[in-house]
């Protein structure tokens, strides 16, 4: 457990090399990749968010922490993807327009790929029209949207509305997630599901594809 706390502490300091190294050490010591992710990397990033919120640290510190987060994720990612699984379906994912936060969205993508999904990742700052066009182009039954800013959450409703306007809402289901969101918000905007984290996103998307109904 000590090493997971040290990973979190080094991530808070933005020490990417140490985070990468210690992530490797934790895995070599037998910790499960998911535990290293949740109790080391994500735990450290949550502290960074809180310190940023209360102005104890500033944007450059958060950028360094994000770089350190990716150093750890790079080590964990191949292990989360390792299992060979049949293709479970397709999903278009992205962070909504105006929002540059992509760490959580990328984690959701990794979990989906690990569960056998073909993932069409549109990146961040994705306009509503691009989500819908990508789902049509790739024949994907699910659009997964991430938002980390309260100011960008309303973009999700635009995607849901656009699917309705185009008569696609039965064929293409939507799932939303991100730190400021809730299941209530998902319901309010008419999204089909809410994902709390990467694991729940996979479960919800599987249920959406199985039923093409509300998950």
Q: Give me the residues that bind ligand B1M (CB under 6 A), please.
A: 42, 45-46, 48-49, 52-53, 59, 62-63, 66, 93, 98-105, 107-108, 144-146, 148-150, 175-180, 195, 197-198, 201
Output 40 or 178, the one with its CB closest to ligand B1M. Answer: 178
Phi, psi of 102 (to 5 degrees): -125, 0
Buried b (16+ CB within 10 A) or exposed e, 104-136: bbbbbbbbbbbbebebbbbebbbbbebbbebbe
Distance CA 43, CA 207 (A): 28
Q: How far apart are CB 203 and ligand B1M at their closest, in Å?
A: 10
Output 9 or 149, the one with its CB closest to ligand B1M. Answer: 149
Least Cα distance to 209 among 125, 137, 116 occurs for 116
Output 28 or 35, the one with its CB closest to ligand B1M. Answer: 35
Output 28 or 128, the one with its CB closest to ligand B1M. Answer: 128
Q: Which residues contact 52 (CB under 8 A, 6 or more apart)?
A: 58, 59, 61, 62
Q: How far apart are CB 94 and ligand B1M at their closest, in Å?
A: 9
How many C-beta atoms lie closer than 10 Å to residue 43's C-beta? 17
Buried b (16+ CB within 10 A) or exposed e, 70-82: bbbbebbbeebee
Q: How far apart are CB 204 and ligand B1M at their closest, in Å?
A: 8
How many C-beta atoms lie closer than 10 Å to residue 163's C-beta? 24
Q: How far apart are CB 155 and ligand B1M at their closest, in Å?
A: 12
Q: How far apart are CB 28 and ligand B1M at their closest, in Å?
A: 23
């Amino acid at each position: 457990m000590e090493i997971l706390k040290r990973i979190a502490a080094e991530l808070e300091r933005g020490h990417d090399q140490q985070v990468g190294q210690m992530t490797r050490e934790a895995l070599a010591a037998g910790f499960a990749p998911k535990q290293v992710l949740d109790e080391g990397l994500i735990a450290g990033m949550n502290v960074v968010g809180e310190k940023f919120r209360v102005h104890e640290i500033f944007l450059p510190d958060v950028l360094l922490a994000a770089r350190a987060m990716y150093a750890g994720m790079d080590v964990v990612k191949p292990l989360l993807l390792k299992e060979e699984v049949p293709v479970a379906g397709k999903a278009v994912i992205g962070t909504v327009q105006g929002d540059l936060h992509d760490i959580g969205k990328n984690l959701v993508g990794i979990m989906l790929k690990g569960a056998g999904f073909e993932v069409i990742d549109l990146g961040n700052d994705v306009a509503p029209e691009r989500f819908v066009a990508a789902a049509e182009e790739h024949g994907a039954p699910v659009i997964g949207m991430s938002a980390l800013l309260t100011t960008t959450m309303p973009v999700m409703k635009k995607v849901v509305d656009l699917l309705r306007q185009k008569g696609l809402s039965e064929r293409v289901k939507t799932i939303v997630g991100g730190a400021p969101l809730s299941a209530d918000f998902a319901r309010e905007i008419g999204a089909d599901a809410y994902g709390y984290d990467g694991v729940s996103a996979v479960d919800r998307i599987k249920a959406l594809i199985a039923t093409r109904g509300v998950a």
